[in-house]
């Protein structure tokens, strides 16, 4: 192992591994430090996302949806099956196989690109030095780099009123490992993680109660979309209680009783399992020495400029460690940007066109401004909204809940926001991302020819609807 590199990346998640690979592609001698040991007891790349986040949760979401379809929807298609059964061992095994395949693939990419993988912990010292402590027995070493990229990611937030307890009270990681379906499941937090995990176990038969301290459901989502989501999730059996502030919890044998307050007073509920999903915090605790020269804000996020430079020369920070949404794709693009900046190229992430997705069913996805934000700003705007119920492909698939919505600057006709709840929302919203990246007007989308029948025809119809030109829905003009 060398003790000097052009670039040292601390963290092997989506941001870190992408940064390391891109640095190596650009001819830089690169090392990536990653300490994770997977559930098989082996060193693993991929960070939270691939190991205990995005990928395993999507594997369970897809498996649970197939069970739900077999039980509740296939008969509508004339496909009659015996009552389906849940094999949790097989479901979990499949999830683990997907994780291992993807994380192993990153190791192969490191080898192909000649990235040095240092298995252990890294800590930034002064002068672009990095203290490396190997996972296996060995001496701590001090490494030197011309550039350091901090990509250590984040961890779930723990709360004192509901401390984690074995497999009774768990965080998002523990919620992926249940070996049986709980009869009653409590979820603290109605954000992305809470809704996705709650959906998994509700589909598999759990009675799910979601406690959310905030009075508004999905406050960062366009109100029209969030209201539709709240209605649809309720129909699916998610009992979402807003304005419910958890005040305590008590384990009684194999059950957990949760106390909470809302506008109607104090209440308590008893569950077989409890998931704490109230957000994540940056993993900066053991990442920096006191003289590293890197500044933190009041929430312990690392302060960076628009190209992710910290206050320490030659040191960058990306992903969940810095401002902006805690999204794997945001971290990945920041990692690539930083690698190219280090190599002398001029590049920039457009933070205005980063889409967000909730992988429930239907999916919820959005990019850009909400109608609420534009209305509050006083800017002149128009919207186009079309339901999937008007789409032939969605109806043929028996999957026609939800809608597509555009928010458009009325003066320039530019697309400034797109919001989707419905089938394949995560894919359809990328059409809005592309339109916004290219500065498209809503007329540009109106003039395009969309395949028929296809879900994306709803995108076309919503674009037409912004100017009362939709063909397949009846529209009434707004009063000026």
DSSP-H helix ranges across 35-179: 47-52, 54-72, 88-113, 172-175
State the Cα angle at 305 between 303 and 307, rounded to 5°: 125
CA 136/CA 326 separation, integer angstroms: 31
Q: 67, 44 in Cβ contact below 8 A?
A: no
CA 335/CA 246 separation, integer angstroms: 37
331, 328, 311, 307: which is closest to 319 by C-alpha? Answer: 331
Three-state DSSP at 366 gives strand
What is the torsion angle, in degrees rounded to the nearest 10, for the CA atoms of residue 393, residue 399, residue 400 and residue 401? Answer: -150
114, 152, 143: which is closest to 8 by C-alpha? Answer: 143
Q: How many CA atoms are closer than 13 Å to the CA of 298, on its beta-carbon side?
A: 0
Catalytic residue among 267, 452, 460, 472: 452
Q: DSSP per residue over 453-473, as a string?
A: S-TTHHHHHHHHHTTT--SSS
Q: 197, 57 in Cβ contact below 8 A?
A: yes
What DSSP character marks residue 177? Answer: -
Q: 196, 238 in Cβ contact below 8 A?
A: no
Sign of torsion over alpha carbons 41, 46, 48, 50 = negative
CA 278/CA 285 separation, integer angstroms: 19
Residue 152, Cα to own-chain centre: how many angstroms?
16
DSSP-H helix ranges across 270-424: 328-342, 371-377, 392-396
How are beta strands 363-368 and 381-387 bridged, if at all?
unpaired
Residue the block writes with tokens 């027995």 = 137
Backbone dihedral angles phi then psi of residue 27, each to the nearest 5 degrees: 90, 15
CA 251/CA 215 separation, integer angstroms: 27
Residue 326, Cα to own-chain centre: how many angstroms?
7
Quick check: is 452 catalytic? yes
How are beta strands 265-271 and 363-368 bridged, if at all?
unpaired
DSSP-H helix ranges across 343-391: 371-377
Active site residues: 452
């Amino acid at each position: 192992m060398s003790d000097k590199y052009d670039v040292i990346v601390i963290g092997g998640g989506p941001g870190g591994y992408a940064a390391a690979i891109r640095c190596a592609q650009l001819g830089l001698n690169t090392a990536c430090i990653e300490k994770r040991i997977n559930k098989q007891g082996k060193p693993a790349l991929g960070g939270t996302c691939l190991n205990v986040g995005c990928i395993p949760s999507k594997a369970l979401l897809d498996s649970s949806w197939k069970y739900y379809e077999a039980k509740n929807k296939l008969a509508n298609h004339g496909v009659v099956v015996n009552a389906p059964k849940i094999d949790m061992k097989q479901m979990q095994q499949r999830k683990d196989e997907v994780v291992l395949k993807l994380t192993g693939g990153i190791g192969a990419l490191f080898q192909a690109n000649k990235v040095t993988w240092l298995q252990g912990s890294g800590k930034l010292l002064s002068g672009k030095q990095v203290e490396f402590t190997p996972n296996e027995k060995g001496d701590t070493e001090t490494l030197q780099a011309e550039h350091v990229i901090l990509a250590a990611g984040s961890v779930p937030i723990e709360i004192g009123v509901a401390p984690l307890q074995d497999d009774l009270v768990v965080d998002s990681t523990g919620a992926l490992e249940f070996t049986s379906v709980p009869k009653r499941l409590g979820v603290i937090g109605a954000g992305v993680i809470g809704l996705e995990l709650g959906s998994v176990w509700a589909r598999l038969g759990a009675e799910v109660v979601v406690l959310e301290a905030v009075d508004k459901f999905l406050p960062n989502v366009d109100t029209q979309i969030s209201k539709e989501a709240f209605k649809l999730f309720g129909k699916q059996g998610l009992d979402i209680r807003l304005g419910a502030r958890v005040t305590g919890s008590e384990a009684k044998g194999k059950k957990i009783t949760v106390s909470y307050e809302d506008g109607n007073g104090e209440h308590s509920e008893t569950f077989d399992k409890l998931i704490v999903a109230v957000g994540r915090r940056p993993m900066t605790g053991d990442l920096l020495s006191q003289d590293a020269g890197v500044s933190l804000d009041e929430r312990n996020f690392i302060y960076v400029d628009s190209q992710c430079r910290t206050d320490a020369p030659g040191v960058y920070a990306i992903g969940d460690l810095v401002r902006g949404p805690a999204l794997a794709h945001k971290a990945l693009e920041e990692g690539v940007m930083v690698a190219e900046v280090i190599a002398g190229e001029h590049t920039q992430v457009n933070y205005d066109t980063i889409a967000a997705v909730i992988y429930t069913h239907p999916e919820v996805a959005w990019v850009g401004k909400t109608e609420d934000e534009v209305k509050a700003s006083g800017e002149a705007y128009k919207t186009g909204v079309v339901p999937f119920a008007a789409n032939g492909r969605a109806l043929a698939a028996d999957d026609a809940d939800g809608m597509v919505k555009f928010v458009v600057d009325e003066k320039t006709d530019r697309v400034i926001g797109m919001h989707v709840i419905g089938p394949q929302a995560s894919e359809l919203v990328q059409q809005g991302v592309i339109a916004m990246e290219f500065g498209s007007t809503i007329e540009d989308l109106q003039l395009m020819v969309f395949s028929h029948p296809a879900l994306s025809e709803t995108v076309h119809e919503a674009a037409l609807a912004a100017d009362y030109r939709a063909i397949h829905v009846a529209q009434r003009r707004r009063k000026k």
